[in-house]
Chain A
Amino acid sequence: MQTTRGKLHPLKTALEIRSCDKLVDFYITVVPVKQSNTVLKIVRQAIPNDGGLDIQHLRRFAKLADLPPEVRATIAAARHVSPTITNTDTGEEEEGVGERVLLVGSINASTKDTLTELLAPVLETLALVVIQVPFLTPTSQEQATRWTARFWPTVYKKSNLFGPHPSLANRAMESIAGEVENWLGLAEEVAADAHEEGRGERVGVVVVERIEGVGRVLAVAADARWLDWPRETNGNVSAHAAMRGVGIVAVGLKAKENLKSDTLSASSASLPASIFRDEPIGETERAYFQPSDKKGYLCHELEIYCTHEPCVMCAMAIVHSRFGKLVFRRKMQRTGGVCADGELGHGLFWRKELNWTMLGWQWCPDGEDKDGEGAVDVNLNA
C-alpha cells in the first residue's frame, strides 16, 4: 500500500504518567553493618508496616558508594554539623567502610525526635537526614536506573502495576508490527473518500480480527457526521468513525444471529429510522465489510486502527466494546480520550477503575511530515 516506514510507540497509562515524578520524603541514616539488624528491628517497631507505604521497589540498605552524589553530600554534611549527632567522633574515618545507609521511613510515619530517641542509644553516630525517594514502583528498567542515579537504589520488578505487563505488551506489538502500516493506510484511504465526498471529517478506522496470528479486516469505516446533517452543528456525533466501525461489526454479528434463528429473521426487514450509520458507505467500506466467522461478543479482543486519536466518546466506546488493541496515527492533543499525556489526560485505553483495559500505540511514520495530508482541525473530536 504505502512505502513509508514508521514506529509503534506504546502509550503511557494515566498511572504511569502520574507515577513518573511522584516523590516522598524519607529519613535515612548511616548504620554500621554489624548493627544493621538491630537498627532495622527498632525501625520496624517504630514504624510498623512502613506506615502503610509500599516501598518494596526501594533497597532497604545501600552502600554509601551506591548513592547519588547529592545524597552522599547531604549525609556528609549532616554527620559533621547536624545537632542530632550525639557522639561525634573525629569524622576522619574513611567514608563508608563497614557502613550502610538505611532507609528508615517516611517523614509522615514518625518524627525526627521519636526516631532519635529510639536510635541514639544503639547508634554511636546518628545522622538522620531527609531525602526524596520515588513513591511508586518503576514501570521499566530504564526508569529504575534513572531513579537509582538520582534518588535512591531502586529495583525494577519486571511487572507493571500501572499498565500492561511489559512482556505481554511486547509480544502483542510484534504480532501487529508488520501489518500496522497496511491497516492505517486503508483507514487513510476511506478517510480521504469521506472528506472528498463531503460526508464526514477526514477520519477513518479499520477493525481487524486476528486468528492464529493472521489479521483480517472485519470493517472499515470513515467519519460520516455530515451525511444528511445540518452543517451549523457539531455534526452527527454518533457517526464518528470509531462509532461506525463498532456499529458495522455489530450489524455483522446481528446478521449471523438472524441467519441461525428463524424466529428473529423478520426483525431485520424493517429497521426503524435512526441517526446511526451502521451500514458500510462507499466502495471501499463495502468491499472490506466481512463479518467474522466466529460468534463473537461485541468487539471482544479485536484490533482498531485509527487515523486520529479517538475523542472521549469514541475512546470509551472502544473500551465498552472490549477491543484488545488500539493503534492511532495522529494524536489529538486537545480532544483525544485515549492518551494520558494529552490535555485531557484521561488515558481511557488503560484505566484500572474501568472493567476493561487494552493495549495502545501511536504509530509514527519516519521523517518530517508527521501528520501528512490527514491533519485536521485541532479542536475536532475525532
Chain B
Amino acid sequence: MTSPVVTWPEDAASMSEGERDVHVRFMREALVMAELALKTNEVPVGCVFVHDGKVIGRGMNATNASHNGTRHAEFIAISEILSSSTPKHHPSILQKCDLYVTIEPCIMCASLLRQFGVRKVWFGGGNERFGGTGGVLDIHLSNGRELGDKGEQRRIESDYEVSGGWLREEAIVFLRRFYVSGNEKAPEPKKEKKERVLKLDVEPVVKRAKVDG
C-alpha cells in the first residue's frame, strides 16, 4: 500500500509488497535514464541491467546523437556492461541479469537480448508499433515462431520471461511529451502522418492516489 503506483501489472498480484517495491525501484532508475534521453532530444526510453540486486549498466536511447537508428537503450547498456568495467565482465554475466526498461523492447532489441541470453525483462509501457516481446512479435518465445493452435508454448533455450506494465503510465507520458513536439530529425515516413504517432494506448493518467493505512 505504500508504493505510489497508479496501476499494478498483473504479475504484481502474486507478489509480496517488498518484492513489488524492488521492481518499482529499478524501474524508477530506468525512468531516470528515459528522462535524461528526453532532455537531450532522444526518444525517451531508458533501461538498467540488474545483477545480484545491483544496477551494473544503464542505457538510454541515442539514435539522434549517433545518427544510428540501432542505438537503443538496451544496446547502450550492454555495451557499457561489457566494455567499461575493470576487469571486464564476461558476456555470460548477462545470463544472470534482469533488464528493466521503460518501454517494451523492440523486435531488434528483443533479438539482441535473446542472443546474449538475458534472464528476464521487466518493462513499463507496451510497444504496439515495434514490440518484440508481445507487442508485434514474441521474440522471447521460440524466437517468435508461430506455434500453431496449442496455447502451451514449449520453452526452448534462450527463451526469456517477460513482465510488462511496471510504471507504464510514467513511461508513456515521457513518450507523449517527446512525440507531441515531434522527432524533428526524422523525415516523414512513406505512410500517412498519423501512423507516426505511437499508438500506445494508455488510460488517462490518474493522479497518484495516496492510500491511507
* A binding-site residues for B, Cβ under 8 Å: 229-230, 233-234, 236-238, 243, 246-247, 249-250, 253-254, 257, 272-276, 278, 297-300, 311-314, 316-317, 320-322, 335, 337, 343-346, 348, 351, 353-357, 381
Q: Indicate if the CB atoms of A353 and B136 lie closer than 8 Å.
A: yes
Complex Cα gap A317–B70 (Å): 6
Taking each of B128, B190, B195, which has the highest tally of chain A beta carbons within 10 Å of its own beta carbon? B190
How many whole Å from B198's CB to the nearest CB in chain A? Answer: 10
On chain A, the residues within 8 Å of B185 by CB distance are 297
Q: Give the residues in chain A near B187, CB-CB below 8 Å.
A: 297, 300
- The residue in chain B whose Cβ has the minimal distance to the Cβ of A254 is B67
Given known contacts A297-B186, A356-B189, A313 and B108 CB-to-CB distance under 8 angstroms: yes
Residue of B nearest to A358 (CB): B190
Known: A273-B83, A345-B145. A298 touches B69 (CB 8 A): yes
Do residues A316 and B79 form an inter-chain contact, with CB atoms below 8 A? no
Binding site for A on B (CB under 8 A): 63, 66-70, 75, 78-80, 82-84, 90-92, 106-112, 115-117, 128-130, 132, 136-137, 139, 143-146, 185-187, 189-191, 195-196
For the A-B complex with A297-B186, A298-B63, A321-B70 known, give 17 more contacts whose Cβ atoms are closer than 8 Å: A229-B91, A230-B91, A246-B68, A274-B79, A276-B79, A297-B187, A299-B69, A312-B132, A316-B111, A320-B108, A322-B69, A346-B144, A351-B136, A354-B129, A355-B130, A355-B196, A381-B111
Name the contact of A233 in the complex, choosing from B92, B108, B191 (C-beta under 8 A).
B92
CB distance from B83 to the nearest CB of A (A): 4
Q: Contacts of B195 on A, CB cut-off 8 Å?
A: 355
When the two chains form their complex, are residues A298 and B68 in contact, meaning their CB atoms are under 8 A apart?
Answer: yes
B112 close to A353 (CB less than 8 A): no
Q: Which residues of B contact A320 (CB under 8 A)?
A: 63, 69-70, 106, 108
Specify which of A250, A254, A299, A320 lies most central, judged by the most chain B CB atoms within 10 Å of its CB.
A320
Chain A residues within 8 Å of B84, by CB: 272-273
Instruction: Give the distance to chain B from A288, nearest Cβ to Cβ, in Å.
Output: 19
A171 to B128, CA, bound (A): 33
Residues in A neighbouring B110, C-beta threshold 8 A: 312
Instruction: Given A312-B139, A354-B136, verify A345-B112 contact (CB < 8 Å).
Output: no
The residue that B108 contacts in the complex, of A253, A299, A300, A317, with Cβ under 8 A, is A317
Residue of B nearest to A357 (CB): B190
Contact B115 A246 (CB under 8 A): no
Residue contact A243 to B91, C-beta cutoff 8 Å: no
Closest-by-CB residue of A relative to B108 is A316
* CA–CA, A312 and B91, complex, Å: 20
Q: State the Cβ distance, A204 to closest chain B Cβ, in Å.
A: 18
Complex contact A345–B136 (CB within 8 A): no
Q: Which residues of A contact B80 (CB under 8 A)?
A: 274
- Nearest 6 interchain pairs by C-beta: A313-B111, A316-B108, A250-B68, A253-B67, A312-B111, A320-B69
User: Which of A246, A317, A343, A353 has a CB less than 8 Å from the CB of B129?
Assistant: A353
Docked-complex contact B191 and A355, CB < 8 angstroms:
yes
Q: Is A313 in contact with B69, judged by CB distance below 8 angstroms?
A: no
User: What's the minimum C-beta distance from A290 to chain B, rounded to whole angstroms?
Assistant: 16
